[in-house]
């Protein structure tokens, strides 16, 4: 609150500045908790998302890089794009992330004109084992269930259009020069490379921009959030057909129960609404190894319900979930799940 006494003008400005900082800090903490903490952890130590609290990361990532990463995300690589946030909200989140470590951005190194061809050879020797032969990054998500347990974090995809748009050449070079303590990424200077060598690697990484969009940045599109078909039979007959269809694709039937079971007094459930749970455990384990979040919608669940005299069979559309999770590695699995779900539902409603 601004004071009106001239003699206290300096104090007013000081208090005003502190109040503004407090408001921004509070807003940043709230926005971070709302949009970022589920993946990056409440204290920025990572999880599904990369750890943000590493001092070396915050020394090389300037505010512009953080803001552009929030805005653009990483297409197909778990990190979504937060296009709906205002500039002030993005700045508040950046300010909160910046507070994870008492580290200011390091001075930007000068970047010379690198030799891309020479950089490709250096990249193959020093970077490809973690970041992939073509910069595609490590497989899986950041949690240990889907990445090699001997790696503390997942190596990011350097060919991702979101990363290339957010990271400047100077930031890439600073990362190569300094490395990141707490990760497998060491200092290239300490590893014996010269600044000219590092400039060549930067030139090679930057050249990924001129290549076609990699498969790892493909976001799966879907036509609807649910798969639904109208049955030609009554509920009991439809349930029997559904169970047979589940068995026909070698899924294990887990349960058939009223939709309201457990939610209302036993015996008073709506007799026109049922759920059928089933699972292909081999498929489930395969999908969990790619992205542990599939546990949110697997095992498979089908709903059978009568609405306005029509018996409907429905399930979620896995293709839509792949898009929500923003993980291109799930695309093939979710497309396969979509086909299996559709076949089961159509067979049970004929």
In a domain, 242, yes or no: yes
Looking at residue 132, its pLDDT comes to 95
Tell me the pairing of strands 252-258 and 273-279. antiparallel
- How many whole angstroms separate alpha carbon 264 and alpha carbon 94? 46
The stretch 48-61 carries a mean pLDDT of: 92
Q: Is the N-terminal amide bond of 299 cis, ω within 30° of 0? A: yes
Residue 42 in domain? yes
Question: Would the pLDDT of 3 be above 50?
Answer: no
Report whether pLDDT(6) > 50.
no
Q: Are residues 103 and 187 in the same domain?
A: yes
- Split into its structural domains, the chain has a count of 2
Alpha helices (H) along 85-234: 87-98, 116-126, 128-131, 161-166, 169-178, 195-206
pLDDT grade for 14, boundaries at 50, 70 and 90: very low
| pLDDT of amino acid 26 | 57
Q: Is the pLDDT of residue 299 over 90?
A: no
Same structural domain, 112 and 243:
no
Residues near 332 by Cβ (< 8 Å), separated by ≥ 6? none
**Section 46-50 average pLDDT:** 89
pLDDT at 156 over 60: yes
CATH number, domain of 68, equals 1.10.760.10
Confidence check: pLDDT of 9 > 60: no
Residue matched to tokens 């259009």: 161
Same domain? 41 vs 185? yes
Q: What is residue 222's predicted lDDT score, i.e. its pLDDT? A: 78
pLDDT at 302: 97
84 with 176, same domain: the answer is yes
For the chain, give the mean pLDDT. 89
Residue 248 and residue 169 share a domain? no
Query: Residue 61 domain-assigned?
Result: yes
CA distance to 167, 188, 258, 326, per residue, from 196 (Å): 19, 11, 68, 36
**Residue 217 within any structural domain of the chain:** no
Among 163, 178, 208, the domain boundary falls at 208
> What integer pLDDT is reported at residue 144 of this predicted model?
81
Q: pLDDT tens across 175-231, in order?
A: 999 999 889 899 999 999 999 999 999 999 999 999 999 989 988 887 799 999 999
22 part of a folded domain: no
- 17-40 per-position pLDDT tens digit: 444 444 444 599 999 999 999 999
Residue 220 confidence (pLDDT)? 84
Residue 148 lies in a domain: no
- Adjacent-strand bridge partners of 276: 256, 302
**Shared-domain flag, residues 80 and 190:** yes
3-state secondary structure the chain: CCCCCHHHHHHHHHHHHHHHHHHHHHHHHHHHHHHCHHHHCCCCCCCCCCCCCCHHHHHHCCHHHHHHHHHHCCCCECCCCCCCCCHHHHHHHHHHHHCCCCCCCCCCCCCCCCCHHHHHHHHHHHCHHHHCCCCCCCCCCCCCCCCCCCCCCCCCCCCCHHHHHHCCHHHHHHHHHHCCCCCCCCCCCCCCCCHHHHHHHHHHHHHHHHCCCCHHHCCCCCCCCEEEEECCCCHHHHHHHHHHHHHHCCCEEEEEEECCECCECCCCCCCCEEEEEEECHHHHHHHHHHCHHHHHCCCEEEEEEEECCEEEEEEECHHHHHHHHCEHHHHHHHHHHHHHHHHHHHHHHC
CATH number for the domain spanning 306: value is: 3.30.310.70
Instruction: Calculate the alpha carbon distances from 57 to 54, 61, 257 in Å.
Output: 5, 6, 50
pLDDT higher than threshold 70 for residue 303? yes
**Are 204 and 232 found together in one domain?**
no
Same domain, 61 and 201: yes
- The range of the structural domain enclosing residue 319 comes to 226-348
Asked if residue 62 lies in contact with residue 171, where contact means CB atoms within 8 angstroms, the answer is yes
List the single range of 41-45, 267-271, 294-298, 312-316 with lowest mean pLDDT.
294-298
> In this structure, are 43 and 106 located in the same domain?
yes
pLDDT at 346 over 80: yes
pLDDT of residue 165: 97
Confidence at residue 13, expressed as pLDDT on a 0 to 100 scale: 36
240 and 292 part of one domain? yes
Please tell me the distance from the alpha carbon of residue 142 to that of residue 47, in angstroms, as a whole number: 6
Does 201 lie in the same domain as 251? no
Minimum mean pLDDT range among 96-105, 205-214, 239-248, 341-350: 96-105
Q: Give the per-residue pLDDT at 255.
A: 95
Q: Is residue 21 domain-resident? A: no
Assigned domain for 1 exists: no
Q: How confident is the model at residue 103 (pLDDT cuts 50, 70, 90)?
A: confident
Summarize pLDDT for 126-137 with one digit per residue, the tens.
999 999 999 999
Helix (H, G, I), strand (E, B) or coil at 186: coil
Query: Could you tell me the pTM of the whole model?
Result: 0.82
- 196 plus 275 within the same structural domain: no
Going by C-alpha positions, the residue among 18, 17, 20, 16 that lies closest to residue 1 is 16
């Amino acid at each position: 609150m601004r004071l009106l006494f001239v003699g206290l003008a300096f104090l007013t400005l000081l208090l005003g500045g502190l109040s503004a900082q407090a408001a921004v800090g509070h807003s940043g903490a709230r926005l971070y908790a709302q949009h970022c903490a589920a993946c990056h952890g409440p204290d920025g130590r990572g999880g599904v998302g990369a750890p943000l609290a590493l001092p070396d990361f915050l020394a090389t990532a300037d505010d512009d890089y953080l803001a552009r990463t929030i805005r653009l995300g990483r297409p197909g690589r778990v990190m979504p794009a937060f296009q709906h946030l205002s500039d002030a909200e993005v700045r508040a989140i950046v300010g909160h992330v910046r507070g994870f470590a008492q580290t200011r951005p390091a001075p930007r190194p000068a970047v010379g004109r690198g030799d891309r061809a020479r950089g490709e050879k250096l990249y193959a020797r020093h970077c490809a084992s973690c970041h992939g032969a073509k910069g595609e990054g490590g497989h899986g998500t950041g949690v240990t269930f889907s990445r090699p347990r001997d790696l503390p974090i997942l190596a990011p995809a350097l060919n991702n259009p979101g990363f290339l748009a957010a990271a400047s050449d100077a930031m890439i070079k600073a990362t190569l020069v300094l490395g990141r303590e707490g990760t497998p990424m060491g200092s290239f200077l300490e590893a014996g490379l010269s600044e000219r060598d590092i400039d060549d690697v930067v030139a090679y990484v930057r050249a990924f921009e001129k290549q076609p969009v990699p498969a790892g940045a493909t976001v799966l599109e879907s036509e609807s959030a649910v798969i639904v078909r109208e049955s030609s039979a009554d509920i009991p007959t439809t349930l029997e057909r559904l169970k047979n269809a589940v068995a026909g694709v070698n899924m294990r039937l887990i349960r058939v129960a009223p939709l309201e079971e457990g939610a209302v007094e036993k015996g008073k459930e709506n007799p026109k609404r049922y759920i059928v749970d089933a699972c292909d455990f081999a498929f489930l384990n395969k999908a969990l190894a790619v992205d542990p979040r599939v546990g949110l919608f697997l095992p498979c669940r089908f709903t059978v319900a009568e609405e306005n005299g029509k018996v409907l069979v429905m399930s979620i559309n896995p293709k839509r979930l792949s898009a929500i999770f923003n993980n291109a590695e799930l695309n093939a699995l979710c497309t396969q799940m979509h086909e299996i779900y559709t076949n089961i539902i159509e067979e049970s409603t004929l």
